[in-house]
Amino acid sequence: MSRRRLVTVLLVLGVVALFAVPLALDRGRSDYSGTDSQVTAVVEQGDPDYRPWFSSVFTPSSSEVESGLFALQAALGGGVLGYVLGRLRGRRLAERARADGDRAGPAREDGAT
């Protein structure tokens, strides 16, 4: 394995470990609720007279629908990101093939003469 590839693998493992280790150590004691809902509770507790004066124009009807929409957002972003990286890589490989072709062309002529 090249050093470059090794570094990539280690970086990916680092990211996975960063989020997997807390989950594994925790053993189901925490519910991992979102910080936004926790903050909403803090506001209600610290400022009990406050009433939210506007509600969302559209609220997903269940947490399943909400997860699905979050997944859709991630899929859209991941799709575009993958498309861009794929195009950039294809472009580089095409340029390299063209450069190799230019170099190989005259060399073959030299061999023929």
Partner 1 sequence: MHIAEGFLPPAHAIGWTLAAAPFVAHGARAVVREVREHPESTLLLGAAGAFTFVLSAVKLPSVTGSSSHPTGTGAGAVLFRPPVMALLGTVVLLFQALLLAHGGLTTLGANAFSMAVVGPWVGYGAYRLTRRLGGGLLPGVFAAMALADLATYVTTALQLAWAHPDAATGFPGAAAKFLGVFALTQVPLAVGEGLLGVLLFRALLANARPDLERLGVVAPQPEEAR
In the complex, the residues that contact partner 1 under the rule CB under 8 A are 7-8, 11-12, 14-15, 18-19, 22-23, 26, 29-40, 42-43, 46-47, 50, 52-60, 66, 69-71, 73-74, 76-81, 83-85, 87-89, 91-92
CA–CA separation, 52 vs 62, rounded Å? 21
Q: How far is the CB of 109 from partner 1 (least distance, A)?
A: 23
Nearer to partner 1 by Cβ, of 3 and 112: the residue is: 3
* 90 three-state secondary structure: helix
Per DSSP, 36 falls in state H
- How many C-alpha atoms does 35 have within 13 Å on its Cβ side? 0
- In whole angstroms, give the CA distance from residue 31 to residue 35: 11
19 versus 108: smaller Cβ distance to partner 1: 19
CB atoms near residue 60 (< 10 Å): 13
CB of 83 to partner 1, least distance (A): 8
Q: Which CB, 5 or 112, lies closer to partner 1?
A: 5
Min. distance of Cβ 108 from partner 1 in angstroms? Answer: 22
Maximum alpha-carbon separation in the chain: 93
Closest CB 113 distance from partner 1, rounded Å: 27
